[in-house]
Chain A
Amino acid sequence: MELAKIEKLLDAYFEGNTTLAEEAMLRDYFAQDEIAPQVAMYQPLFVGLVAAKEEVSDRELKLPKNQFKIKNWWYAAAASVVLAIGVAGFVFSEPKLTQEEQEALAAFEKTKEAMQFMSKNFNKGAEELTYISTFTETKNKILK
């Protein structure tokens, strides 16, 4: 680009009258190596403006995890429902015994009955024995 045009653009630039396209032309001109010595002092400005745009933020943004909180709440609700079902299932399923357990229970009842019957008969025998103690008492009275 010829010097005259660059100088004209520069004048407009410092007055704040250039368009974005014209400013891009200036940046391009000063980005190359063949710069007229008359305007060389402006080179750092345009190189600097380009360099300034390359700077980037290198810190991660931290946003509050709102949605995860809601999810956690749902997890908690789901977990307690599962727990409730588990407990309820255990409580209500207890009377329902398996075939084998029912048989065992019946056998247990029968055995208990038999045992009680036996112990009753034993006690009958024991009742008769009280007469023996009466006999001992009377004997003691007489013999002293």
Chain B
Amino acid sequence: MKQKEFIATVLPFKDKLYRLAKRILVSGDEAEDAIQEVYLKLWKGRNKIGNYRNPEAFAVTMTKNYCLDRLKSKQASNLKIVHNNFQTSENVEKKIEANDGVQLVFKIMETLPEQQRIVLQLRDVEQFEFSEIAKMLDSNETAVRVNLSRARKTVREQLIKKHNYGIS
């Protein structure tokens, strides 16, 4: 596979992978590093990419595994996750500025367990079908739905709590 062809195949979902990596690793810088690594791996195995029916799903799985590994090795070496660059993208920043509640939602999402964060990201942000997510996570649809429901309910609880106390 030539470089041009490779880029045409894998570049369209670069941002998706980045958002997933950032959802897991929290830091934007680390997410950028992670997808760089993932793309290097994809590039090394580029001749096999053609054999996969769905390169995007394959890349998502790879990104998820890589980021979880990073997280594990980080926790093992007792490093704290830095998220000084919570908002990197300007357009997102503008949207968030207009709404304190949205900022809160992002904060709540950070507190979810990794698996729930991943499912929420893939379903509610990237809008993949349950069957696709199940394949990406090497799981089944029921498990995905359960995880997703838990994630959504946690966000709801936190939102209601804040709503009742009054955030503004």
Which residues of A are in contact with B by a Cβ distance under 8 Å? Answer: 13-17, 20, 23-24, 41-45, 47-49, 51-59, 61-64, 66-67
Contact with A along B129-158 (1 / 0, CB 8 A): 100000000000000011011001101100
Which residues of B are in contact with A by a Cβ distance under 8 Å? Answer: 2-3, 6-7, 11, 14-15, 17-19, 22, 31-32, 35-36, 39-40, 43, 88-89, 91-92, 95-96, 99-102, 104-106, 121, 124-127, 129, 145-146, 148-149, 152-153, 155-156, 159-160, 163
B15 touches A55 (CB 8 A): yes
A14 touches B124 (CB 8 A): no
A63 touches B3 (CB 8 A): yes
A63-B127 in contact given A14-B152, A48-B102, A55-B18 (Cβ < 8 Å): no
B129 touches A57 (CB 8 A): no
Contact of A62 among B2, B11, B36, B126 (CB under 8 A): B36
Q: A20: which B residues are within 8 A, CB to CB?
A: 127, 129
Q: A41: which B residues are within 8 A, CB to CB?
A: 159-160, 163
Contact of A44 among B91, B105, B146 (CB under 8 A): B105
Q: B22: which A residues are within 8 A, CB to CB?
A: 55
Least CB distance, A24 to chain B, in whole angstroms: 8
Cα of A55 to Cα of B106 in the assembled complex, Å: 13
Q: B36: which A residues are within 8 A, CB to CB?
A: 59, 61-62
Least CB distance, B31 to chain A, in whole angstroms: 7
Of listed A42, A55, A67, residue having the most chain B CB within 10 A: A55
A14-B126 in contact given A57-B31, A63-B3 (Cβ < 8 Å): no
